[in-house]
Amino acid sequence: MDLWRYVGVTLGFKEATKLFQDLTNSFSEVNCQPLALVKQGIWGKVITHPDEKGSWIEVMSNAMYLSCNSGLILVQKIDPTEKEQ
């Protein structure tokens, strides 16, 4: 099932929370997307950019989402024991 088709869709908050967790758990160090879980009353949705938040309240987010408007640059940790190729 393609979970990404539900990103940006208003769901019950419990379902939106599960979607956020499932998508977050599917990421690796090299495959990650900005995500946030937002809530409005009994509703929730997963978004990928702060511009999509509107009047919704942020409940959870990942580091990539937080860096969207902060000017932060995310870097990948390099193992110092690895040799350059």
Around Cβ 48, how many Cβ atoms within 10 Å?
17
Question: pTM score, two decimals?
Answer: 0.76
pLDDT in tens, 7-66: 999 999 999 999 999 998 888 766 778 899 999 999 999 999 889 999 999 999 887 887
Around Cβ 38, how many Cβ atoms within 10 Å?
24
Given a contact cutoff of 8 angstroms between Cβ atoms, the answer to whether 64 and 47 are in contact is: no
